[in-house]
Amino acid sequence: MSEISFDDFLKVDVRVGTVLRAEPYPEARKPAIKLWIDFGDEIGEKKTSAQITAHYQPQTLVGRQVMAVVNFPPRQIGKFMSEVLVLGMPDENGEVVLVGPDQTVPLGGRLH
CATH code (residue 44): 2.40.50.140
pLDDT for res 43: 97
Q: Which domain holds residue 45?
A: 16-98
> Does residue 91 carry a pLDDT above 90?
yes
Instruction: Write out pLDDT tens, residues 21-53.
Output: 999 998 888 999 999 999 999 999 999 999 999
pTM of this structure = 0.94
- Structural domain contains residue 29: yes
- Structural domain contains residue 8: no
Around Cβ 1, how many Cβ atoms within 10 Å?
3
Domain count, the chain: 1
- Structural domain contains residue 22: yes
Sorting pLDDT into bands at 50, 70 and 90, what band is 14? very high
- Structural domain contains residue 60: yes
**Cβ burial 52-84 (10 Å sphere, 16+ → b, else e):** bbeebebeebeeebbbbebeeeeeebeebebbb
- Structural domain contains residue 77: yes
Instruction: Write out pLDDT tens, residues 74-83.
Output: 999 888 999 9
Nearest alpha-carbon partner for 16 in 99, 82, 83, 107: 107
